[in-house]
């Protein structure tokens, strides 16, 4: 898509006070073009506007423009603005590169929804309706908890879709799980934080900025919640609906045990509802928060259902922690974009968000099915562990194969993660080799070829 150039600019120039004013203006304009501050095609202010801004005679500006036109720095046509010439390119800066990190030839990194699946037309339509209907005070300073329209919509949606008990007054909108984790680390009572032995390393690093962490074992029935009793933890972060990355579900007895630990010790369970909406073999299991809203803090976001580019998440906060969370958010963090909050609220209320989630659930289920069929046909010795859910799958490998397969994948440009990448350094679980395959990451047309590349490196 062609981009339209700015037709007029407010131009800041620092003029050398020594020497002539015209020479100073000429030097300042050359420097601005040479450095790239004034890009090719940009229109300069009129003689009158620039002379008024800089306190110069109009003739001085006109003569300087004419000089730079003659030298090829600027272009001018009768009846049109004076512009930066396209031939005047900024010199490259030594050691600098404008190139983005190269994309892998095949992308199976976990936690990355298909970027082409973002519902652009739905988002735009919801944004138009929401902003037109919004009261004027929506565009002033807001409640640090977030817009009431979104909190009300989330209250209804989470109760209906995830079994969460959520009063709008106890929902705090944030920019995602990472921001929620930062605030929670700063507001939870003193003491270590318990983490599952497998999880995202950058989540652990957020917690460890201010706390120590302890690792809880993970097996086929989820986190070993009984291990909480032998720790001095004040909080535990769990992914009960679909453990990341192993893909298992926390069984009912362990859910109850974790809640009972929180009641007995005054601790808090922080429920990361990772992939909670994407269960393919049955209806999604309800959130753990419903067992005890005063001991379980529920956290979710749209990073998987819509896009990580839409920086909206939410916390359903126990009453005893609400004031502290609001205080930290109000002091340290700006609120999430009001326009985005209003747009998401309209999507939820209108049912468009539900329809999009259902569409993506069917699409990702088809992708997981293709992955399973391909492995069954060509690599039957490789087993997918965990439940039929989420945006990634763990492929269990024979001992000693993880590093070998990962190296082979890197040679053909296939990006994915070894299971060991997500293991807590203090974990005592039995070590087994595996690959975490994010089957949601490739675009729709690239997915079959990407699976063929995966099969080839598993040989």
Q: Residues 182, 238: one domain?
A: yes
Q: Residues 288, 319: one domain?
A: yes
pLDDT at 55 (0 to 100): 86
pLDDT at 345 (0 to 100): 97
**CATH number of domain containing 396:** 3.90.1150.10
Q: What total of structural domains would you count in the chain? A: 3
Burial of 13 (0-12, 13-18, 19+ CB in 10 A): middle
d(CA 432, CA 397): 8
pLDDT at 346 (0 to 100): 97
Domain boundary among 304, 319, 354: 354
Q: Residues 277, 393: one domain?
A: no
Q: Residues 167, 232: one domain?
A: yes
Burial of 233 (0-12, 13-18, 19+ CB in 10 A): buried
Q: Residues 247, 215: one domain?
A: yes
pLDDT at 359 (0 to 100): 94
Q: Taking a C-beta distance cutoff of 8 angstroms, is the pair 179, 202 a contact?
A: no
The CA-based diameter of the chain, rounded to the nearest angstrom, is: 85
d(CA 3, CA 364): 34
Q: Residues 208, 274: one domain?
A: yes
Q: Residues 194, 336: one domain?
A: yes
d(CA 292, CA 339): 33
Burial of 99 (0-12, 13-18, 19+ CB in 10 A): exposed
**CATH number of domain containing 38:** 1.10.10.10
Within 10 A of 209 (CB to CB), how many other CB atoms are there?
9
Backbone angles phi, psi at 413, to 5 degrees: 80, 25
Q: Taking a C-beta distance cutoff of 8 angstroms, is the pair 52, 59 a contact?
A: no
Tokens of 70: 């003659």
Task: Mark out the alpha helices in 175-225 (DSSP H runs).
Answer: 177-187, 201-207
pLDDT at 69 (0 to 100): 87
Q: Distance between terminal CA atoms of the chain? A: 43
**CATH number of domain containing 138:** 3.40.640.10
With CA atoms as reference, report the closest residue to 293 among 170, 157, 144.
Answer: 170
Q: How would you write the pLDDT of the chain (459 residues) with one tens digit per residue?
A: 444 444 456 788 888 877 788 888 988 898 888 888 888 888 899 888 888 888 889 999 999 998 888 888 899 888 788 899 886 444 444 444 444 456 888 999 998 898 899 999 999 999 999 999 999 999 988 889 999 999 999 999 999 999 999 999 999 999 988 888 888 887 777 889 999 999 999 899 999 988 899 999 999 999 999 999 999 999 999 999 989 999 899 999 999 999 999 999 999 999 998 777 888 887 777 899 999 999 999 999 999 999 999 999 999 999 999 999 998 887 655 668 999 999 999 999 999 999 999 999 999 999 999 999 999 999 999 999 888 888 999 999 988 899 999 999 999 999 999 999 999 988 887 667 999 999 998 988 899 999 999 999 997
d(CA 122, CA 456): 38
d(CA 409, CA 444): 21
Domain boundary among 354, 377, 409: 354
pLDDT at 4 (0 to 100): 41
Q: Residues 343, 237: one domain?
A: yes
Quote the domain boundaries for residue 331: 118-354
Q: Taking a C-beta distance cutoff of 8 angstroms, is the pair 210, 185 a contact?
A: yes
Q: Residues 14, 61: one domain?
A: yes
Within 10 A of 400 (CB to CB), how many other CB atoms are there?
8
The pTM is what?
0.79
Backbone angles phi, psi at 300, to 5 degrees: -145, 175
d(CA 372, CA 159): 33
Q: Residues 348, 363: one domain?
A: no
Domain boundary among 307, 329, 354: 354
pLDDT at 3 (0 to 100): 45
Q: Residues 336, 447: one domain?
A: no
Q: Residues 289, 391: one domain?
A: no
């Amino acid at each position: 898509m062609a981009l339209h150039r700015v037709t007029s600019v407010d131009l800041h120039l620092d003029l050398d006070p020594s020497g002539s004013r015209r020479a100073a203006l000429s030097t300042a304009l050359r420097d601005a073009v040479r450095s790239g501050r004034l890009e090719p095609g940009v229109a300069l202010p009129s003689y009158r506007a620039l002379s008024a801004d800089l306190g110069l005679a109009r003739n001085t500006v006109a003569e300087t423009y004419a000089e730079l036109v003659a030298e090829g720095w600027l272009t001018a046509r009768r009846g049109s603005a004076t512009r930066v010439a396209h031939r005047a390119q900024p010199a490259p800066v030594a050691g600098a590169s404008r190139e983005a990190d190269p994309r892998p030839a095949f992308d199976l990194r976990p936690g990355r929804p298909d970027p082409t699946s973002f519902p652009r037309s739905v988002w735009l339509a919801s944004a138009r309706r929401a902003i037109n209907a919004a009261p004027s005070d929506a565009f002033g300073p807001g409640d640090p908890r977030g817009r009431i329209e979104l909190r009300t919509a989330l209250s209804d949606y989470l109760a209906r879709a995830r079994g969460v008990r959520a009063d709008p007054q106890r929902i705090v909108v944030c920019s995602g799980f990472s921001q929620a984790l930062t605030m929670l680390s700063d507001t939870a009572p003193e003491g270590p934080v318990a983490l599952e032995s497998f999880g995202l390393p950058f989540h652990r690093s957020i917690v460890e900025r201010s706390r120590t962490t302890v690792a809880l074992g993970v097996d086929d029935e989820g986190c070993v919640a009984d291990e909480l009793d032998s720790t001095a933890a004040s909080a535990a972060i769990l992914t009960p609906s679909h453990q990341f990355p192993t893909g298992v579900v926390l069984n009912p007895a362990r859910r109850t045990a974790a809640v009972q630990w929180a009641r007995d010790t005054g601790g808090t369970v922080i429920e990361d509802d990772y992939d909670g909406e994407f269960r393919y073999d049955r209806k999604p299991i309800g959130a753990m928060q419903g067992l005890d809203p005063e001991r379980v803090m529920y956290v979710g976001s749209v990073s998987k259902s819509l896009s990580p580019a839409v920086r909206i998440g939410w916390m359903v906060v126990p009453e005893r922690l609400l004031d502290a969370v609001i205080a930290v958010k109000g002091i340290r963090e700006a609120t999430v974009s009001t326009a985005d909050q209003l747009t998401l609220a309209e999507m939820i209320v209108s049912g468009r968000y539900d329809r999009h989630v259902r569409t993506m659930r069917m699409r990702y289920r088809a992708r997981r099915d293709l992955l399973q069929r391909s492995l069954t046909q060509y690599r039957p010795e490789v087993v997918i562990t965990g439940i039929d859910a989420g945006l990634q799958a763990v492929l269990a490998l024979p001992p000693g194969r993880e590093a070998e397969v990962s190296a082979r994948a890197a040679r053909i440009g296939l990006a994915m993660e070894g299971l060991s990448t997500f293991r807590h350094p203090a974990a005592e679980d039995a070590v087994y080799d595996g690959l975490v395959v994010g089957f949601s990451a490739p675009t729709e047309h690239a997915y079959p070829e990407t699976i063929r590349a995966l099969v080839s490196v598993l040989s």
